[in-house]
Structure 1
Amino acid sequence: MKIAFKMYLKPGYKEEYQRRHAAIWPELKQLLQANGITDYTIFFDEATNTLFAVQQQSGDQSSQELGTTEIVQRWWAYMADIMETNPDHSPVTVPLTAVFHMD
């Protein structure tokens, strides 16, 4: 199943966001893949500082639902200074509904 959601970057942090993701922690990437999360892409809308994430999910959880794991909690805390977050440091996310798909 392919899912999509949006998150919000604080103004002026596009390059820092890209830098941190270019060096994604190997153990975080391994956790995502082990839970069936692949083909994960995040797009950025500069006009609104909105991040649009799309991921293929073959397991039971999306990347955002793995927040009970220690590594995801550490990643959220690491990213909290540049993103809009909830009190537990998880990113504020809004699920998106597919309205069109072309094969």
Structure 2
Amino acid sequence: MIRKTFVMYVNPDCHQEYQRRHAELWKGMKDVLKSHGGHNYSIHLFAEQNLLFGYVEIESEAQWEAVSDTKICREWWDYMQDVMATNADNSPVCKPLTEVFYLK
């Protein structure tokens, strides 16, 4: 498994709404994440800085990148664009993090 970590940015007054939407994550979106090799996916909020830290274990980079080509992922991005920083295509602004320590 490949461990991926990344940071995203939630709008200051949208923390609760972001959490609510993820508590009600669409079944189809869950299915796509899993079918594209995503496991143990979690997102953590650092509220004071409006930061979201994501962690996911993936089977392959290519398989994971293909999530963004799915219709449901594009619909999810459109749904989430009003609560977080996004790119022109509504994908979240997402910066990879470098692993500096791992204890198995």
TM class, shorter-chain normalised? Answer: over 0.9
TM-score norm. by structure 1 comes to 0.94
Cα deviation, residue 12, structure 1: 1.4
| 1:82 corresponds to | 83
| 1:58 corresponds to | 59
Cα deviation, residue 61, structure 1: 3.4
Tell me: CA distance 1:65–1:52, structure 2 relative to 1, closer, same or farther (3 Å).
Answer: farther
Matched residue type, 1:11: P
- Structure 1 stretches lacking a partner, 5+ long: none
Any idea what SS the aligned residue of 1:12 has?
A: helix
Any idea what SS the aligned residue of 1:6 has?
A: strand
Q: Percent identity?
A: 39
RMSD: 1.2
Contact 2:4–2:55 (8 Å) recurs in 1: yes
Matched residue type, 1:61: Q
Alignment: residue pair count: 102
TM-score norm. by structure 2 comes to 0.93
| 2:48 corresponds to | 47
Tell me: CA distance 1:65–1:43, structure 2 relative to 1, closer, same or farther (3 Å).
Answer: farther
Which contiguous aligned blocks of 4+ residues in structure 1 show a shift greater than 2 angstroms? 59-62
Instruction: Looking at secondary structure, tell me which structure has more helix per residue.
Output: 2
| 2:11 corresponds to | 10
Tell me: CA distance 1:70–1:44, structure 2 relative to 1, closer, same or farther (3 Å).
Answer: same
| 2:28 corresponds to | 27
